[in-house]
Amino acid sequence: MSDGNGWKSIPGYEGFYSASKGGQIRRDPGSPYCKVGRILKPKLHHSAVTDYHRVGLYRDGKLKNEFVHRLIMLTFEGPRPDGMDVCHGEGGSLVNRFDNLKYDTHAENIKYNIWMQTQQEKADSGSEDDSMV
Protein backbone atom coordinates (compact mmCIF):
# COMPACT_ATOMS: atom_id res chain seq x y z
CA MET A 1 0.00 0.00 0.00
CA SER A 2 1.34 3.44 -0.99
CA ASP A 3 0.83 6.49 1.23
CA GLY A 4 0.61 9.04 -1.62
CA ASN A 5 4.14 10.30 -1.02
CA GLY A 6 5.88 7.51 -2.92
CA TRP A 7 6.27 5.26 0.13
CA LYS A 8 5.03 1.68 -0.09
CA SER A 9 5.14 -1.20 2.41
CA ILE A 10 7.95 -3.66 1.78
CA PRO A 11 6.60 -7.18 1.13
CA GLY A 12 7.40 -9.39 4.09
CA TYR A 13 7.83 -6.35 6.34
CA GLU A 14 4.32 -4.87 6.06
CA GLY A 15 3.47 -2.64 9.01
CA PHE A 16 7.12 -2.31 9.97
CA TYR A 17 9.07 -0.86 7.02
CA SER A 18 8.37 1.03 3.79
CA ALA A 19 10.45 1.90 0.74
CA SER A 20 10.35 5.01 -1.44
CA LYS A 21 10.92 5.23 -5.18
CA GLY A 22 13.73 7.60 -4.22
CA GLY A 23 15.64 4.64 -2.78
CA GLN A 24 15.08 5.14 0.95
CA ILE A 25 13.85 2.75 3.64
CA ARG A 26 11.92 3.90 6.74
CA ARG A 27 10.19 2.53 9.82
CA ASP A 28 6.40 2.56 9.72
CA PRO A 29 3.86 3.61 12.33
CA GLY A 30 3.24 0.62 14.57
CA SER A 31 6.80 -0.66 14.35
CA PRO A 32 8.06 -1.57 17.82
CA TYR A 33 11.67 -1.12 16.73
CA CYS A 34 12.51 2.57 17.42
CA LYS A 35 11.28 5.91 16.14
CA VAL A 36 8.31 5.83 13.78
CA GLY A 37 8.94 7.30 10.35
CA ARG A 38 12.69 7.32 10.81
CA ILE A 39 14.55 6.95 7.53
CA LEU A 40 17.18 4.29 8.00
CA LYS A 41 20.79 5.14 7.33
CA PRO A 42 22.25 2.50 5.02
CA LYS A 43 25.62 0.97 5.71
CA LEU A 44 28.17 0.44 2.99
CA HIS A 45 28.76 -3.18 2.04
CA HIS A 46 32.02 -3.80 0.17
CA SER A 47 32.14 -6.68 -2.29
CA ALA A 48 34.92 -7.83 -4.59
CA VAL A 49 33.28 -6.03 -7.53
CA THR A 50 31.50 -2.95 -6.16
CA ASP A 51 29.88 -1.39 -3.10
CA TYR A 52 26.20 -1.62 -2.14
CA HIS A 53 23.98 -0.12 0.55
CA ARG A 54 22.47 -2.40 3.19
CA VAL A 55 20.02 -1.80 6.02
CA GLY A 56 19.21 -3.91 9.06
CA LEU A 57 15.51 -4.82 9.31
CA TYR A 58 13.86 -6.66 12.17
CA ARG A 59 11.25 -9.35 11.65
CA ASP A 60 10.02 -11.69 14.37
CA GLY A 61 12.62 -10.25 16.72
CA LYS A 62 15.50 -11.17 14.43
CA LEU A 63 17.77 -8.79 12.55
CA LYS A 64 18.23 -9.36 8.84
CA ASN A 65 20.62 -7.29 6.74
CA GLU A 66 19.05 -6.51 3.36
CA PHE A 67 20.43 -4.84 0.25
CA VAL A 68 18.54 -1.60 -0.40
CA HIS A 69 18.40 -2.09 -4.19
CA ARG A 70 16.74 -5.50 -3.73
CA LEU A 71 14.16 -4.06 -1.31
CA ILE A 72 13.30 -1.23 -3.73
CA MET A 73 12.77 -3.64 -6.63
CA LEU A 74 10.80 -6.11 -4.50
CA THR A 75 8.54 -3.29 -3.35
CA PHE A 76 7.89 -1.55 -6.67
CA GLU A 77 8.47 -4.25 -9.31
CA GLY A 78 7.74 -7.47 -7.44
CA PRO A 79 9.81 -10.56 -6.66
CA ARG A 80 13.01 -11.08 -8.62
CA PRO A 81 12.41 -13.57 -11.45
CA ASP A 82 14.54 -16.71 -11.41
CA GLY A 83 17.86 -16.23 -13.14
CA MET A 84 17.71 -12.44 -12.96
CA ASP A 85 19.83 -9.86 -11.12
CA VAL A 86 18.86 -6.46 -9.81
CA CYS A 87 20.89 -4.17 -12.05
CA HIS A 88 21.90 -0.57 -11.42
CA GLY A 89 21.88 1.95 -14.25
CA GLU A 90 24.20 4.83 -15.01
CA GLY A 91 23.80 6.23 -11.51
CA GLY A 92 25.97 3.41 -10.18
CA SER A 93 25.64 0.84 -7.43
CA LEU A 94 25.04 3.35 -4.65
CA VAL A 95 22.08 5.03 -6.39
CA ASN A 96 19.05 3.01 -5.31
CA ARG A 97 16.28 5.09 -6.88
CA PHE A 98 13.69 2.90 -8.60
CA ASP A 99 14.37 4.64 -11.93
CA ASN A 100 18.04 3.52 -11.72
CA LEU A 101 17.18 -0.17 -11.19
CA LYS A 102 15.89 -3.03 -13.34
CA TYR A 103 15.78 -6.80 -13.48
CA ASP A 104 18.05 -8.31 -16.13
CA THR A 105 20.17 -11.41 -16.70
CA HIS A 106 23.48 -11.82 -14.93
CA ALA A 107 25.26 -11.83 -18.31
CA GLU A 108 23.70 -8.46 -19.26
CA ASN A 109 24.55 -7.07 -15.83
CA ILE A 110 28.22 -8.03 -16.27
CA LYS A 111 28.26 -6.67 -19.85
CA TYR A 112 26.81 -3.35 -18.67
CA ASN A 113 29.27 -3.11 -15.76
CA ILE A 114 32.21 -3.65 -18.12
CA TRP A 115 30.80 -1.01 -20.47
CA MET A 116 30.40 1.46 -17.56
CA GLN A 117 33.96 0.80 -16.39
CA THR A 118 35.21 1.40 -19.95
CA GLN A 119 33.25 4.67 -20.12
CA GLN A 120 34.81 5.82 -16.86
CA GLU A 121 38.28 4.96 -18.14
CA LYS A 122 37.59 6.85 -21.39
CA ALA A 123 36.29 9.85 -19.46
CA ASP A 124 39.40 9.81 -17.29
CA SER A 125 41.60 9.75 -20.40
CA GLY A 126 39.57 12.34 -22.36
CA SER A 127 38.09 9.99 -25.03
CA GLU A 128 34.44 10.58 -26.05
CA ASP A 129 33.25 7.30 -27.69
CA ASP A 130 30.30 6.11 -25.57
CA SER A 131 28.66 3.51 -27.82
CA MET A 132 27.72 0.27 -26.06
CA VAL A 133 28.66 -2.85 -28.00
Q: Does residue 32 form part of some domain?
A: yes
Tally of domains in the chain: 1
Per-residue pLDDT tens for 15-55? 899 999 999 999 987 766 666 678 999 999 987 677 899 99
pLDDT mean over 108-128: 79
How far apart (Å, rounded) are the C-alpha atoms in residues 37 and 55?
Answer: 15
Q: Does residue 131 form part of some domain?
A: no
Domain boundaries, position 97: 7-125
Residue 1 above 60 pLDDT? no
Q: Does residue 85 form part of some domain?
A: yes
Give me the CATH number covering residue 117: 3.90.75.20
Query: Which of 131, 80, 124, 132 is CA-nearest to residue 106?
Result: 80
Q: Does residue 2 form part of some domain?
A: no
Q: Burial of 47 by CB count in 10 Å (0-12 exposed, 13-18 middle, 19+ buried)?
A: exposed
Q: Quote the pLDDT of residue 129.
A: 57
Residue 90 above 90 pLDDT? no
Query: Which of 34, 56, 62, 26 is CA-nearest to residue 43?
Result: 56
